[in-house]
Every structure is written in structure tokens, then in C-alpha cells.
């Protein structure tokens, strides 16, 4: 074996270790944002379970607000569908856009329900309603924190896959860009978390 052969072998091994390190870093970043999305999913499921109870309590007092109550349940169904689609492919930009849009509509519908509920003092005085709205508020905060962690993970992943020289490996190994989870900007009412204070 000649000295030049050893140098060439050393360079090849160095390149392989370098490429494996970048590949493993991309895998780790992708797994981190997928885990962050799983946390969002847990909180969304919790909220989806609270909403029918909230609507059922409100229904007893708000007999003339059937349209508002139906809008909440319709928005819940759409948001559940968006969450299921996003869960099957976390990070897919189209799925994240759909989920963000449906969550925005649900947030707007819940906000309208809470505004209408303010006109019903008996409903505001109901202990179960107060407990449900407090749980919903707490869950909304957890969703916001989970969404922030997810978006931070996606940003770290996208940055890692786009910088040179990692972009060479990412493009050839199927690391696609991940989508952020954002609430639609053009609808100001949806950008605010639902007001659920009684």
C-alpha cells in the first residue's frame, strides 16, 4: 500500500463520516418537528372532546342561537378532518395549511359562541360552563405553546436542510421542506384565541 492510497482512503472515510453526520442530523431534526406535531395533536384532540360538552351546556340556555351552535360543531368537524390529514403526514405544507385554516375557522366560531353566550347570565353562572371554558382556555394555551414548538422545530429542520453542503445530501435523500402551522393572516378575528372568560 502506498502513502497516496492511504491518504485517498482516509479522505473517502472522512467524506463518508461527514455525509452520515449530516444525514443523521437531518433525521434528528425531522423527528423533532414530528414529535412537536404529536404534542399539537394531543392538545387538539383534547379540545375536540371539550367542544361538544360546551355546546351541549350552551344549548340548554341558548335555544335561539341554533345557527351559532351548529357553526361551532361544523367547524369542529372540519378541524378534526384537517388534524387527521396533518397527522398522517406531519410537516406536509398542504396539510399544515389546511389544518391552520380549519383551526382558524374553529377559533372564530368558538369566539362567536363565547360572545353570544355573554348575553345569557344564567349560562355564565352555570358551574359546569365555567369549568369547561376554563379547561378550553387552558387547552388553547397549550395548543399555542405546542404550535410554537412545532414551528421552531420546522424552522430548524428547514434551515438545516437548506444550508450548504447539507442541501446536497437533503435533496438527494428525500428530505422535503416542512410546512409551518400558521393561522390565516387575512382573517383578523381568527388570529385571536377565542375569548372564553365568564
Chain segment 20-73, per-residue pLDDT in tens: 999 999 999 999 999 999 999 999 999 999 999 888 888 888 777 888 889 999
Distances (CA, A) of 111 to 72, 136, 137, 188: 9, 12, 11, 12
- Judge if pTM exceeds 0.85: no
Q: Which CATH number fits domain 29-184: 1.20.1440.20, 3.40.50.300, 1.10.274.10, 3.40.50.1000?
A: 1.20.1440.20
Q: Is 7 exposed, middle or buried (0-12, 13-18, 19+ CB in 10 A)?
A: exposed
Half-sphere exposure in the Cβ direction for 127 (13 Å, CA)? 0
DSSP, res 126: -
How many angstroms separate the CA atoms of 154 and 147, rounded?
Answer: 10
- Name the stretches of the chain with pLDDT < 50: 185-194, 196-198
How many Cβ atoms from other residues are within 10 Å of residue 174's Cβ? 7
How many Cβ atoms from other residues are within 10 Å of residue 79's Cβ? 24
* Every domain of the chain and the residues it spans: 29-184
Amino acid at each position: 500500500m502506498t502513502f497516496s492510497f492511504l491518504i485517498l482512503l482516509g479522505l473517502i472515510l472522512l467524506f463518508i463520516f461527514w455525509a452520515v453526520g449530516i444525514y443523521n442530523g437531518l433525521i434528528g431534526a425531522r423527528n423533532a418537528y414530528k414529535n412537536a406535531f404529536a404534542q399539537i395533536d394531543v392538545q387538539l384532540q383534547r379540545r375536540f372532546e371539550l367542544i361538544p360538552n360546551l355546546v351541549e351546556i350552551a344549548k340548554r340556555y341558548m335555544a335561539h342561537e341554533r345557527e351559532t351552535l351548529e357553526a361551532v360543531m361544523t367547524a369542529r368537524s372540519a378541524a378534526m378532518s384537517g388534524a387527521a390529514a396533518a397527522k398522517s403526514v406531519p410537516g406536509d405544507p398542504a396539510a399544515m395549511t389546511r389544518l391552520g385554516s380549519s383551526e382558524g375557522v374553529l377559533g372564530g366560531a368558538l369566539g362567536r359562541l363565547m360572545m353570544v353566550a355573554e348575553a345569557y347570565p344564567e349560562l355564565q353562572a352555570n358551574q359546569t360552563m365555567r369549568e369547561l371554558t376554563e379547561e378550553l382556555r387552558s387547552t388553547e394555551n397549550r395548543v399555542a405553546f405546542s404550535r410554537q414548538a412545532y414551528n421552531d422545530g420546522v424552522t430548524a429542520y428547514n434551515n438545516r436542510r437548506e444550508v450548504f453542503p447539507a442541501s446536497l445530501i437533503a435533496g438527494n435523500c428525500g428530505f422535503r421542506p416542512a410546512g409551518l402551522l400558521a393561522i390565516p393572516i387575512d382573517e383578523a378575528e381568527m388570529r385571536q384565541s377565542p375569548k372564553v372568560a365568564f
